[in-house]
Homo-oligomer: A and B are copies of this chain.
């Protein structure tokens, strides 16, 4: 197995900069859309043979250095007893949002083998079929999961989440306690089923003021990462919109900090120091550049990333559905070529 990705996570020497792409199994790929013509998104997540198939699609087509389990961060939330639906334009909707201590008490903590057996089965299939590169498992960060549970879906202002934090701290922290316990159990079960690394997605951390991030998100991520340490797999912590948060995010103790494109990776490396690897951070829109512009951006990201303990090249956010598949393929080749020693 090509372990370049895992070596970069740990800060060990590599022959080139490894690369994978957030949402690399997704709508921009015609082969993915063909599978989705047959099943809806949730069914796809819950059908191990199909979830494994779409996980493998970009590994073969793009030549990336890691696969990431096809699933969604809200899958384990459904197993906690909330009704989950996905709409093409509106995104996820969770019925009966969590707003009171009673709502929190009603949430179940099922064993993953009972609540989300299909996720673990997908991992087992992938461990048999995926030989070339490591497999990444993942979960949402507790704060990010909490926003969906409190808002009942996506949000622009996160007003309900923050109002709960600022005026009903007991309820907020009780909910975070429960989500954190779920997340630890969930990620542990993924590692035991065979993933080689895990990524924790804090997609909405960047909606918090830094002091609030420090009080309301980071401690729960830190606890999650600490619980995973004995399992010995690298933990990537993706902090979206991290410009104001990097110093605090570092304290969560991940092996790798994933950063979005709104910070300069050189400046991020300086702020994060040499005890952590960095993942990122090309603007997903850069895949719509002329070749010369793209090449300059990729070279700059690689060169700045070299100053980190370890660098995994990635986009700074999920690849856009409008992206031409060949542009993604060309990106992967470019990263390999430009970074080879």
Contact = CB atoms under 8 A, between A and B. Distances in A.
Given A167-B289, A288-B167, A262 B159 contact: no
A78 interface: no
Can you tell how many copies of this chain the complex includes?
2
Q: Chain A contact residues (Cβ within 8 angstroms of B): what range?
A: 35 or more
Contact of A162 (B158, B264, B283, B316): B283
A243 interface: yes
Contact of A209 (B166, B211, B264, B290): B264
A284 interface: yes
A322 interface: yes
B241 A290 contact: no
Contacts of A293: 166-167
Contacts of A263: 210, 243-244
Contact of A243 (B157, B211, B262, B283): B262
Interface in A53-81: none
A295 B208 CA distance: 18
A93 B86 CA distance: 27
Nearest to A242: B243
B284 A157 contact: yes
A212 interface: yes
Interface of A: 157-159, 162-163, 166-167, 206-212, 241-245, 261-264, 267, 281, 283-286, 288-290, 293-294, 300, 316, 320, 322
